[in-house]
Amino acid sequence: MEPTPTPFFVGIDISKANLDIGIHPSGEAWRETNTVEGIELVLKKVKPMRPSLIVVEATGGYEAEIATALALAGLPVAVVNPRQIRDFARSTGKLAKTDRLDASVLARFAQAVRPEARYLPDPQARELQALVNRRKQLIEMLVSEKNRLSTAHARIKPSIQKVIDFLTQELDQLNCDIHDKIRQSDVWREKDDLLQSVPGVGKVLSTVLLADLPELGQLNRKQIAALAGLAPYNCDSGLMKGKRAIWGGRASVRNALYMAALSASRCNPVISRFYERLSKEGKVFKVAITACMRKLLTILNAMIRSMEAWQPHLATEKVLLMA
């Protein structure tokens, strides 16, 4: 009887310039440049190992090319939150920090935690995601300039106004580009129409969900809530029973859901009744509106799964169980 081959786990620490690769349990480590040629060399060396899992750390976009290349090569890839890696490193006593050590920690994290290899967006989805992220940046800059305008000296107000006018023009053009991008895709156009058929859901939430939550309709209600950071977590120890709280997840999705839930609590009959019931039970606003956000997301998840437009009966217990 042949011995079972040792499973390999790969960690890749990513910077703008370099890719540091660590292998567990062999301890092998090396560096490649974060370029097309460097990524090809990583694939050439890693693929024959048939790793059980490859973990890369989310680094503000620098991980996109290598993660996509690995996934297209048929390798299991998980992109993880840097906070998880830091906590894991501290728990193992690894206090020093270098790129090579980080890659080793990532490989050990892959073996110990086994994070799930998740769906990676295709090039079109990544382009939409980039447009949505840029829209957020423009809005933040626009808000900052408008705040400065209100207290600025008269001498510099014309300068600030020019910037505001320019940012407003750029934002209008970007909104048109996002709209055109969605309408050019048959799949996105259909999903966009379904999402916006729900009272309280507008262009902003629909666009954010399409760009930043591509798993919508593919997961159950608990999984999709966790991805959006709307799953309540316990805080208990011994006899102490702490308050349940949400944390983590995708902040962009959660922020857009918050504004949509506020609107839906007034104009959506299902969400409105749900919010009123929670208020009558004595739930504070923050708890009630968070519950509405989760209910709204659950309904949208069920709609995209079944590809059916909004109808009030979609919020019944039967449909929620299907989500």
Residues 248, 312, single domain; the answer is yes
Rounded Cα–Cα distance for residues 236 and 244 (Å): 9
Element (H, E) at 54: strand 53-57
Full residue range of the structural domain in which residue 81 is found: 9-113
What's the pLDDT at 321?
A: 47
- Taking the chain, what is the end-to-end CA distance rounded to the nearest angstrom? 45
Residue 28: Cβ within 10 Å count: 15
Residues 163, 222, single domain; the answer is no
Task: For 18, list phi and psi in degrees, rounded to 5.
Answer: -135, 160
* Residue 103 within a domain: yes
Domain boundary among 89, 113, 137: 113
Residues 153-167 pLDDT 10s: 999 999 999 999 999
What is the CATH number for 60? 3.30.420.40
Residues 285, 249, single domain; the answer is yes
Residues 238, 207, single domain; the answer is yes
* Residue 191 within a domain: no
Residue 183: Cβ within 10 Å count: 12
* Residue 190 within a domain: no
* Residue 313 within a domain: yes
Residues 154, 209, single domain; the answer is no
- Strand order, beta sheet including 29-33: 29-33, 18-24, 9-14, 53-57, 77-80
pTM of the model: 0.70
Both tokens of 133, joined, read: 């992220």
> What is the rounded average pLDDT for all residues in the chain?
85
Residue 117 pLDDT > 60, yes or no? yes
Rg of the chain over CA atoms, in angstroms? 23
Rounded Cα–Cα distance for residues 127 and 110 (Å): 29
- Arithmetic mean of pLDDT, 68-93: 84
User: Which of the four pLDDT bands, split at 50, 70 and 90, describes residue 240?
Assistant: very low
Residues 138, 105, single domain; the answer is no
* Residue 63 within a domain: yes
* Residue 189 within a domain: no
Rounded Cα–Cα distance for residues 79 and 58 (Å): 6
Residues 322, 211, single domain; the answer is yes
* Residue 256 within a domain: yes
Rounded Cα–Cα distance for residues 216 and 256 (Å): 15
Residues 25, 69, single domain; the answer is yes
Residue 290 pLDDT > 70, yes or no? yes
* Residue 40 within a domain: yes
The label of the residue with tokens 């959660």 reads 254
User: Which of the four pLDDT bands, split at 50, 70 and 90, describes residue 96?
Assistant: low
Work out how many domains the chain is built from and give that number.
3
Residues 263, 317, single domain; the answer is yes
Both tokens of 308, joined, read: 């059916």
Nearest to 206 by CA among 310, 315, 52, 55: 310
Residues 224, 160, single domain; the answer is no
Q: Which residues contact 177 (CB under 8 A, 6 or more apart)?
A: 131
Residues 39, 103, single domain; the answer is yes
Q: What percent of the chain has pLDDT above 70?
A: 88
Residues 97, 175, single domain; the answer is no
Residue 315 pLDDT > 60, yes or no? no
Residues 1-42 pLDDT 10s: 444 567 889 999 998 889 999 999 888 999 999 998 999 999
- The H-assigned helical ranges of the chain are 36-46, 64-72, 82-91, 99-113, 123-151, 157-184, 186-196, 203-212, 221-227, 251-267, 269-280, 285-306, 317-322
Can you tell me whether residue 9 is helix, strand or coil?
A: strand
